[in-house]
Structures are given as C-alpha cells and as structure tokens.
Amino acid sequence: MIVVLGDSLSAGYGIDHTLGWVSLLQKRLSDEGYPHQVINASISGDTTRGGAARISAVLERNNPSLVVVELGGNDGLRGIGLGEMEKNLTQIVISIKESQAIPLLVGVRLPPNYGVTYTEQFQSVFKSVADQSGASLVPKLMEGVASDLDLMQTDGIHPLAEVQSRLLNNVWSVLGPLLE
C-alpha cells in the first residue's frame, strides 16, 4: 500500500481527479506489474500542520509500506513560519518511519512573487528535513511545469491535466527505485 499525503497538487484541484498524477501512479504501478494499491489521502488546502495532525490516523487506517508526503505549499502561501513547517514535516516523517513505512518527501515551489530569498529558504526546508531524517526527496514536484504558464491553470498555481504525467515522472524518478 502506498499513501499520498498531500494538498491540492496531489488531490487534483481543478481537474478530473482520475487524470491527476496520483491516479496515474496507480495506473503505472499496475501496468508495470507492481502489486501496490495507492490511497490518495490528499486534501486541497491542507498544510503541514494538518498533515501532522492526521498522519497517525492515516497510517493506522491504511498500514502503508510507503508514504509520499507532498505538503508545504499552503504553508508558504499563508505565511506560516518556515520553522513550524520544518517541525511539522519532521514530525510527519518520524511518524511514518515509526510505522515501519518508507517516507518520500516531495518538495513544492512558491510563486516567484514571494521573492528570491524567501522562496530559496522555503525550498531548503524540504532538503533539510530529508537530510536530517534520512527520508528520500523529490526536490521539485513541478520541475519542468511551473515555469511555463501555458502548462498551468489560470490561477498560476495548479497544473493542467495534460501535464500530470510530468509530475508523476518527477515523483517516479525517486519512488520507482524505492519499490525495488
């Protein structure tokens, strides 16, 4: 069992959820002969605080072997302190490891209007948590997508359905080897 604990980027905001990268992950696993089932425990608007509050119940209910954590974007958009975000992500990863599941942390980006300094500090939180906890890291879920507004919904934050396979490929580059 693989659980994806994420926000709107994983919940498929603004698109048919069956076209989102998490649904495409289930299809890829099936097509490639992996026995894993994917549970999408993503909630649009969720923060790392919300993820930390519900991770124990998610783990208990699903007993996953691997948990993909894609949270943090809403923390940045809401101006939640980076220290709190790091503490929450660390707590989530520790809970996953204590359940004997493999944590996979997925970095997200903020729109450029937050300024270079803050966005770099924001991005460094994911690497810091991964380095300190030993979790695997996908540095940027939106690599090759976010910088092209033609690939984004009109809000400039959420990707179109047509590019969800790119998001999956970004995650798969790290997730695939973890399944071996």
Catalytic residues: 8, 155, 158
Largest interatomic CA distance in the chain: 44
For every residue of the chain, DSSP letters joined together read -EEEEE-HHHHTTTS-GGGSHHHHHHHHHHHTT----EEE---TT--HHHHHHHHHHHHHHH--SEEEEE--HHHHHTT--HHHHHHHHHHHHHHHHHTTPEEEEE-----GGG-HHHHHHHHHHHHHHHHHHT-EEES-TTTTTTT-GGGB-TTSSSB-GGGHHHHHHHHHHHHHHHH-
Contact status, residue 110 vs residue 73, Cβ threshold 8 Å:
yes
Rounded Cα gap, residues 84 and 89, in angstroms: 9
